[in-house]
Structure formats: structure tokens, C-alpha cells
Amino acid sequence: MRNAVFLVVLVAACASAPSQRAPAEQLRGCWINRDAGATTMRWLPDRDRPDVLAGVRHIYRQVGAPVVTRYTLEPSEEGSSICEIGDDGAATKCWRVARGDNGSLEGGRVFVDTHGEALRITVIGDGPERTIFQGRRDGCD
């Protein structure tokens, strides 16, 4: 009986544990949000740096050209960081990717949440909560 209770507790703990997949595995591919127009996001390997993912978000508007924002997901010894990239190709702002419950939110942390075919990327602790992207998996054209 004691072993059965231990097994049930162990299984419940595993079922509620956060995904331990690497951020690159979670992000890689193409995503879309069709609410109020369309927003797309692609995360594909960087041509010059194979360990880095390059992200491009397009916000399509009713009038005018889409708003384009570029990002990178870069691994480091401390984990991974997502950086917003300026027109000159340099990082304008970087956030460490949150892993589990540990770590300070000072300076902001980016949370990459995937569930099935859904993705949400949110920055917390760097001013008001900011959602970079929220949508569903889409095919890459």
C-alpha cells in the first residue's frame, strides 16, 4: 500500500511539472494569430550561427506595410536569452528565458509557454507585462 501511494504521488508530481524542453525546441517553426488582423512569427535557425534561432514577427495592419520586429534566441552558460534586434542588427533589449520558479524578475524575464500547438511569449518584470506573441502553430511557406 505504501508503495502504491508513493507511486501515485510521484506520477502526480511528474504530470504537473513544467515542460523541460529547451526553448529552441518550443519555438522552432512558424506561428500565426488571426485575431484582429494577423500576426505571424517565424523562428528558424540563423544562417551564420547554427546554435541561434532567428525570429521575425510581422503584424499585418488594415492599411500600410506590416510592422516587422526581429528577435534572436541565443544559448549561454546561464540558460537562454531572447533579444529584440534593431535595424542595425544589434540587440536593443535582451531578457533571460525563465526556467522553472527560480530567478529574479529584475530587468525582465521572458516566459515561453507552449501547450499543444499554442505558443505564448511574455516578458514580465520589465515594466508592465508585455506579450511579444500569442498564437497557434502554422505551416512554414
What's this model's pTM, rounded to 2 decimal places?
0.79
User: Which amino acid would we find at residue 116?
Assistant: G
CA–CA dist 138, 141 (Å, integer)? 9
Instruction: Give backbone dihedrals phi and psi of 89, rounded to 5 degrees, phi first.
Output: 90, 0
Residue 10: other Cβ atoms inside 10 A? 10
Q: What beta strand segments (E) does 4-66 contain? A: 29-33, 38-45, 53-60
Q: What is the pLDDT of residue 65?
A: 92
What was the pLDDT predicted at 77? 82
How would you write the pLDDT of the chain (141 residues) with one tens digit per residue? 444 433 333 333 333 334 455 778 889 999 999 987 799 999 999 999 989 999 999 999 888 899 999 999 999 888 899 999 999 999 999 999 987 666 667 778 999 998 889 999 999 987 899 999 999 999 887
Element (H, E) at 81: strand 79-85
With vertex at residue 33, the alpha carbon angle to CA 30 and CA 38, rounded to the nearest 5 degrees, is 105
24 three-class SS: helix
The distance in angstroms from the start CA to the end CA of the chain is 55
